[in-house]
């Protein structure tokens, strides 16, 4: 899941993405871009991420954990 997550993030992040990377501080994303990325994960995994969950997704690891808990493989 981590590899798939990083692959999607690489589409959006403009120089290393690891599990500990903070989306805003380390990867330079704005809060709006984080929201757009969540939409990309929704499309990729066919899930609905409630708007209220988005503020809790601060690192790459947070996204991986959320996907592992909510995506049926």
Partner 1 sequence: MKNKEYPLYDIAPKVSSISEVLEIKADTMPDKTAFRYRKGRDNVEEKTYGEVYDEVRKAASYVEKTYGKGNHIAIIGENSYEWLIAYFATVTSGNVAVPIDKELPADEVKWLIEKADVSVAFISKSYSDLIEGVEGLKSMTFKKLQDAEAEGDADYKLAVPKGEDPVCIIFTSGTSGKSKGVVLSHSNLAAEINGASSMFDPEGERTFVVLPFHHAFGLNVAVLMAYNYGVSIFLNKSLKRVKEDMLLAKPDIVMLVPLFIEVFYKQIMTNIKKDGKMKQLKKGIRLSRFLLKLGVDKRREIFKEIHEVFGGNLKYIISGGAHIDPFYVKVFRDFGIEILNGYGTSECSPCVAINRNYFKKDGSVGQVIPGTEVRISSEGEVQFKGPVNMLGYYKDPEVTAEVLKDGWYCTGDIGYVDDDGFLFLTGRMKNLIILSNGENISPEEIENDFHVDEAVNEVLVYEKDNVIVAEIFPEEEYMGNNEYFEELMKKVNEGRPVYKQVARVVLRDTEFIKNTSKKIVRYKNIPQK
User: Residues interacting with partner 1, by CB under 8 A?
Assistant: 14, 22, 24-25, 30-36, 38-39, 42, 49-52, 54-55, 58
Which residue, 4 or 62, is less far from partner 1 as judged by CB?
62
CB of 36 to partner 1, least distance (A): 7
- CB contact set of 54 (below 8 Å; sequence gap of 6+): 34, 35, 38
Give the C-alpha separation, 13 to 33, whole Å: 9
CB of 23 to partner 1, least distance (A): 10
Counting Cβ atoms within 10 Å, is residue 20 exposed (0-12), middle (13-18) or buried (19+)?
A: exposed
CB of 48 to partner 1, least distance (A): 9
């Amino acid at each position: 899941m981590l590899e798939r997550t990083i692959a999607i993030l690489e589409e959006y992040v403009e120089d290393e993405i690891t599990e500990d990377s903070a989306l805003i501080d380390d990867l330079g994303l704005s809060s709006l871009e984080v929201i757009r990325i969540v939409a990309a994960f929704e499309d990729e995994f066919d899930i609905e991420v409630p708007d209220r969950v988005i503020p809790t997704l601060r690192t790459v690891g947070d996204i991986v954990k959320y996907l592992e808990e909510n995506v049926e493989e």
